Chains A and B, each alone.
Chain A
Amino acid sequence: MSKQAQHWEKTRGLLMVTLAIWFVFSIGIFLFGAEMNEVTGPFGYPLTYWFTCQGSLGIFVILIFWFANRQEKIDEEFGFSERGDD
């Protein structure tokens, strides 16, 4: 397999993991919104309420930075990263 194909395979793998985490916190947990809201979440807010106010939103921010770092590592591994700074 060529270097490029391997690079793309790893990139696709990372995409799947990223989208899986995204799916859980944007859609998955809200399937059980009513049940989860009975539980007390962080800082004492009802759990589902907390996710809609802060939890999911914050997780998305962290997820994107994590994704960007992982992708950079993959690019470096195959020598596809750009020269120069950001």
Chain B
Amino acid sequence: MLKGNFIDNLPKVYGIYTGGFLAFIIIMAIAEQMGMSAKAIGICFVAFTVAIYAIIGYLSRTAQADAYYVAGRQVPTVFNGMATAADWMSGASFVAMAGGIYFKGYGYMALLVGWTGGYVLVASLLAPYLRKFGCYTVPDFIGTRYGGNLSRLMAVIVLTVASFTYVTAQINATGTIASVALDIPFQYAVYVGLISILLCSMLGGMRGVTWTQVAQYIVLIIAYLLPVFWISNKMGAGFFPHFMLADEVSRIAELEAQFGFVKNSAENLKEVPKGLAGITKAHSAVNATPWAFISLALAMMMGTASLPHVMMRYFTTPSVKAARKSVGWSLFFIFLLYSSAPMLATLSKLSLIDPSLPTGIIGKSIAEVQAIDWYQNWNQANLMFVSDFNGNGTLELNEFFMGGKAVVLATPEIAGLPYVISGLVAAGGMAAAMSTADGLILAIANALSHDLYYKIIDPKAETAKRLVVARVLLVVIGFAGATIAAMEIQGILGSVIWAFDFAMSGLFFPLVLGVWWKRANREGAIAGMALGLISGAGYLIWVRNGGSGFLGITQLTFGIFGSAVSLVSMVVVSLITAEPNAATQKMVDEVRVPSGKSILGKQH
């Protein structure tokens, strides 16, 4: 069936895979009609997709350093784009984003702009140059450009802080989905999720992660778009929701004006289970100050350009030219999901609050709502809640509460779609969280094994030994992440945003200036990374402990302060110390042109 090498056959391989997955969905739909239980369908979806990823992970096993660290640098642009999109879109994007837009409206949409605009910075400032450099990891670039073990070590520290903050949230998300779909307790489900994650990355490193991420992207995008289109058509809102929901958006504004946003008393809110929210902000009106919106978007954009698990995806392309194009494809594939999230939020909100729709619950009697099947299901899962605060017997807008996750997870059921769609959504969420967790764990383990162990501790280690160390670290970090995730300290979304702020505080300017400012030297970079990370973290701790903050910088945007400190200290320290030596300056010149040999050799 397949002739020639694997890379040439990629379109065919993934074409067959996509067809097979669609056939699987149809088989499940038929099975549902024949009486298969909802629980069995959920288990089938998650088990089947995870098994496929594990097989891909096994087939991608390797014993070579460049295959393990950078997938042999032969991933074609479009496929690298898909892999990056899966790497990028986490459990938070998949499960929490539409919910965030649903509840917070405009202020929250700064994240949509920030999480896409950052790719312009990646493409123009960094990715092609780091690809030319030929590094295996982000600290590899810092350590070689600035020289010295201390700069390399600082980069490893920043990378670990940012990525570890991020990864616990992703393992948490895989655990949540596994526990719902497989019906097992969360504490165990976390480890089921972790083992699935490790199956993809352990044997093949970056190569295994690349090919599973492409497979995961296909699952997650089908799982996100199919329900959006289906619900839109079922509601009669338009066959292509993205272009046709203007009437629905204005209808929501009309209903909001009619119901009004009644503020609940603190006493009433005590009744509401933790983590659930009511609709308190207008859907499409501008309800945040320009600075609140812009500062959040800016923090996310700079964070995007500093997160190592994204950057290292562009180390896998065959050329510098391909790295640039690949960033465009990445953003295109991300755009497909991100532009659909507001549409899902719109459809979900309208279907619940419009009294003229059969699914609308606002204005119905409380008893009637409490008797609805799906309400009981999701209430039991602690994701939905109603209470008659004013005692008039009917449900008002301010008396309805929902968890953010429910917008994605429950809307198909509320809209009356068959259960097979809910199973598909669970598989999609699992794919999104797994792919990001894989990228992050690999980024941390690679930095520790390549930069800390091989470059600093034991530069004479043989390839086989290096790869054993890399794999042991992968497992250790995975278990550490899962253990913290099992404690359920923080929510999914908050810790994701913190990760961006940590990354930009410590890494944005040392990376960018490493390419764009020849005068930047070792002392400056070390100061920039250390002071940036410390001041960012300090600001976060201060605000968390009741500090008032300044300039409107909140705990979600502390990276703006951290990176400003990083920039100033890096420039000042660079200028008062000696300029980099001639060899380093020549290296920067070479990084700036795409042609010629990379700075670091193929095997290093």
Interface, chain A (partner B; CB < 8 A)? 4, 7-8, 11, 14-15, 18-19, 22, 25-27, 30-34, 37, 43-46, 48-49, 51-54, 56-58, 60-61, 63-65, 67-68, 71-72, 75, 79-86
Contact = CB atoms under 8 A, between A and B. Distances in A.
Contact of B124 (A15, A33, A80): A15
Which 4 A-B pairs have CB atoms at the shortest separation, nearest pair first? A44-B246, A86-B322, A52-B109, A26-B117
B77 A86 contact: yes
Contact of B112 (A37, A52, A68): A52
B125 interface: yes
28 contacts: A4-B592, A4-B593, A18-B120, A30-B294, A30-B297, A31-B290, A31-B294, A33-B288, A34-B286, A46-B249, A52-B110, A57-B339, A60-B117, A60-B331, A61-B328, A61-B331, A64-B331, A65-B325, A67-B120, A68-B325, A68-B327, A68-B328, A71-B128, A72-B321, A81-B321, A82-B321, A86-B76, A86-B77
Interface in B584-604: 589, 592-595
A51 B106 CA distance: 11
A86 B318 contact: yes
A34 B291 CA distance: 12
Contacts of B119: 60, 64
B420 to A, nearest CB: 28
Interface of A is mostly: helix
B294 A54 contact: no
Contact of B294 (A27, A63, A67): A27
B321 A30 contact: no
Interface in B104-128: 106, 109-110, 112-114, 116-117, 119-121, 123-125, 128
Contacts of B288: 33
B324 interface: yes
Nearest to B283: A49
Nearest to B319: A82
B128 to A, nearest CB: 8
Contacts of B89: none
B593 A7 contact: yes
Interface residues of B, number: 57
A8 to B, nearest CB: 6
A66 to B, nearest CB: 9
A80 B128 CA distance: 13
Contacts of A18: 120, 124
Contacts of A8: 592
A68 B339 contact: no
B2 interface: no
Given A56-B113, A68-B123, A61 B335 contact: yes
A86 B593 contact: no
Contact of B286 (A45, A48, A83): A48
A22 B301 CA distance: 11
Nearest to A37: B286
B403 interface: no
Contacts of B116: 56-57, 60-61
A44 B319 CA distance: 42
B284 A58 contact: no
B341 to A, nearest CB: 8
A18 B128 CA distance: 15
Contacts of B243: 43
Contacts of B284: 37, 45-46, 49
A43 B246 contact: yes
Contact of B249 (A4, A45, A56): A45
